[in-house]
Amino acid sequence: MIEDSRIPGIWWISDEPDNKVPGDLLINDGRLELNGSFQPLQPGAYDVRTPGLIRPVQEKTILGLSRNGNKRYTLEYYDNPAFQMSWSSYNDYKVDTYSIGRIFEGYHFGEIEGLKFKEYYVEYPNVFDWVGDGIITITTTIPQKRKKLEKSTVVNKIEVRSPKDILAYKGDGFKLSFNIYRGPFQMSPSENIHVSQGCNVKLESAKGIDLHAAQEIYRHVRRLLSIAIGIDIEPKSIRITVGRGKQKKYITMIVPGVINKKKAKTRHQGEMNFTYRDIRKQSQAIFEEWFRMKDKHSDMLDLFSSINSNSPKNINNYFKDVVSALEGYVCVETNRLEVGPDKAVKILDEALPEPDRIINKNERERIRITRNKLSHIKIPAHNESYVMDYNDKYIYANKMVFLLEYSLLKNLGVGDELLKNFYNKRKLYF
């Protein structure tokens, strides 16, 4: 994993290895700041690129070496540098800053488009506990026949097994597994011995999967895991492999703004909506249906991802997006062109057992009027009193998110007991 946010080094365009320029790669900002330029400057030229303008990704890449020469980098970059300048025709000096897409540490690729990899490893916080199946066990043995227990007679045994994969889904052309791994540890006697374990979501394919397709798969898996764990999870690290056998090499991939550098919230198993053990016997069928939903509800799920993200939320936008997600979902499920927010909420709420329903007729009307107010600003005067305040918008938006998640899980075919437990855990937040 890339730890430093600023990487000083030497950089060049992939097909121009003789034209090397020093500069700094700013990992978190997704920016390459050159102390010079890849392209010569015409005397007196001055050009400032419009900030925020989206430019196409280039077929070629920018390659680099860290200052100490220990690390190789491949950078996906966007058309034209963001900034160029010349002070005068006698003292020309040009500085280029490139916006960077994906960053690969450990390997040089001349082009990224069309690349396929056979193994991807993505680590998310809380997934190890969600899976609940490690490779480290600690057992304590206490002698039973001794009348007086002595500390020296108590034996603590630590067993570290080989890493293993737990197959969750076998699809058309790829497999999805939970890869339980062991961190490095000392084999020789030491005062302190540290042993660690973790879990990657592993995607593998004998024929290889291109980067875009792999990222789409991972994004969709993340949605389900976020529902299960109860909080949005952001990737901690992404690795891919090149070569095989003794030549096999792990490469770190960074997508600026995607990798979570902050300490993630910790969820214990008891706090999660459900765990892998709850669905293990149904894992193949559940993931198969979940991937089917990706195509069926693609637009809604994209909106759903932004709704559940950890980024700060404007309550009005949050409320409107939740309503839009519900309307889109119900339209697809019922094969209708249009469904109002009150009708959409009614359909999903009535899918709950009658004693568990959470939004009544009057509340559905308030949701409809509030959405109209947020979307159109001006509404009939007699409806103004029905518009929700800040707290109510938040409460009912969360209720609607629950209805959507409940319906998604029900359509996946999970058992009634899991749905009931899911309801009981979430109703505390209504």
Q: Give 287's pLDDT tier (boundaries 50, 70, 90).
A: very high
Provide the residue count of the chain.
430
Position 88 scores a pLDDT of: 43
pLDDT mean over 199-211: 95
Q: Give 1's pLDDT tier (boundaries 50, 70, 90).
A: very low
Q: Give 357's pLDDT tier (boundaries 50, 70, 90).
A: very high
Position 89 scores a pLDDT of: 43
The answer to whether residue 86 scores a pLDDT higher than 50 is: no
The answer to whether residue 87 scores a pLDDT higher than 50 is: no
Q: What is the chain's mean pLDDT, rounded?
A: 87
For the stretch 243-283, pLDDT in tens is 888 888 999 999 887 665 566 788 899 999 999 999 999 99
Position 150 scores a pLDDT of: 59
Position 189 scores a pLDDT of: 64
Beta bridge partners of 250: 241
| Burial tier of 136 (Cβ tally within 10 Å: 0-12, 13-18, 19+) | middle
Position 186 scores a pLDDT of: 64
Q: Residue 345 in contact with residue 364, Cβ under 8 Å?
A: yes
pLDDT mean over 28-52: 71
From residue 364, alpha-carbon distances to 117, 284, 316, 379, 401 in Å are 49, 37, 17, 17, 14
Q: Give 80's pLDDT tier (boundaries 50, 70, 90).
A: low
The answer to whether residue 147 scores a pLDDT higher than 60 is: no
| Nearest partner of 84 among 22, 38, 53, judged by Cα | 38
Position 23 scores a pLDDT of: 95
From residue 69, alpha-carbon distances to 33, 74, 75, 291, 336 in Å are 18, 14, 16, 43, 60
pLDDT mean over 180-194: 72
Instruction: Tell me the DSSP string of 402-417.
Output: HHHHHHHHHHHT--HH
Position 391 scores a pLDDT of: 95
State how far the Cα of 229 lies from the Cα of 412, in Å rounded to an integer. Answer: 16
Bigger pLDDT: 327 vs 58: 327
Reported pTM = 0.86
